[in-house]
Amino acid sequence: MIKRDIEIAGERLTLHAQRAIHWSARRMLLVSDVHFGKGAVFRRAGIAVPSGDTEDDLVRLDELIAAFIPESVVVLGDLVHGSATVRSAWVDRVRAWRRKHDAVRMLLIAGNHDRHFDVASLGFDVLPERLAVPPFVFSHHPHAQAGGYTIAGHVHPGVTVRDGWRRHRLPAFVFDRDVGMLPAFGTLTGLHEVTRAPDRHIVAVTPAGLLPVG
């Protein structure tokens, strides 16, 4: 199952196995922690990682936009990973991708990594801290906020799932009483394992689709 509907704060949200949420009532697509250019940052630092991570993530975004036809795309922080040089090919590629989707409004709630780059130059409207769209408050950091149920990123949540004797560390959507977290969207992002709890709803992202946990 690549899509799964859940109800949060009285609203129906659709989780997608490409690590995104679609809010159909508002025609809004939510992703978090894209980290464009992370591979380039690593390679400049002498860390050998394969190229193509930005291209892969743009293709996945294309697929989500084609599937849901959103009016807006909201990135919950860390659109980029770090600074770029004049030779950073990923910058031109993201700008070209943005022009292709010029009919879609794209907003970024600035994250801690976004301060290292002029993210507005990529064609995103940048909000410094939060976006309130009742009954939700969208932010980068997953702190409960007055005014609505908080949906955020930053943590890169993951969970360990056992399959017989094998253990798999998987990205996950996590929903607590007042705060929900998206898994990181970017290809080269790591995981922070979250604990299971009776009042915590976790949906793991597996290669075969979405898997409720616990």
Taking a C-beta distance cutoff of 8 angstroms, is the pair 16, 64 a contact? yes
Q: What is the pLDDT of residues 89-116, one digit of tens each?
A: 788 889 999 999 999 999 999 988 677 7
- Split at pLDDT 50, 70, 90, the class of 16 is very high
User: What is d(CA 125, CA 51) in angstroms, rounded to the nearest whole number?
Assistant: 27
Residue 137's pLDDT band (cuts 50, 70, 90): very high
Picking from 208, 207, 210, 192, the residue whose alpha carbon sits closest to that of residue 13 is 210
Q: Which residues pair with 131 in a beta bridge?
A: 138
Q: Is the pLDDT of residue 197 over 90?
A: no
**Helical ranges in the chain per DSSP H:** 38-44, 53-68, 89-100
Distance between CA atoms of residues 91 and 18, nearest Å: 22
pLDDT tens column, 17-59: 999 999 999 999 999 999 887 544 444 434 333 444 688 899 9
- Residue 35 in tokens: 């980290």
Question: What is d(CA 99, CA 122) in angstroms, rounded to the nearest whole number?
Answer: 9
Domain ranges for the chain, please list them. Answer: 3-213
pLDDT at 44: 45
At 52 the pLDDT is 45
Burial class (CB in 10 A: 0-12, 13-18, 19+), 170: buried
pLDDT attached to residue 40: 46
pTM: 0.90
Percent of the chain scoring above 90 in pLDDT: 61
- Cα–chain center distance at 192: 14
CATH no., domain 3-213: 3.60.21
Closest C-alpha among 99, 96, 132, 114 to residue 35 = 114
29 neighbors 72 (Cβ within 8 angstroms)? yes
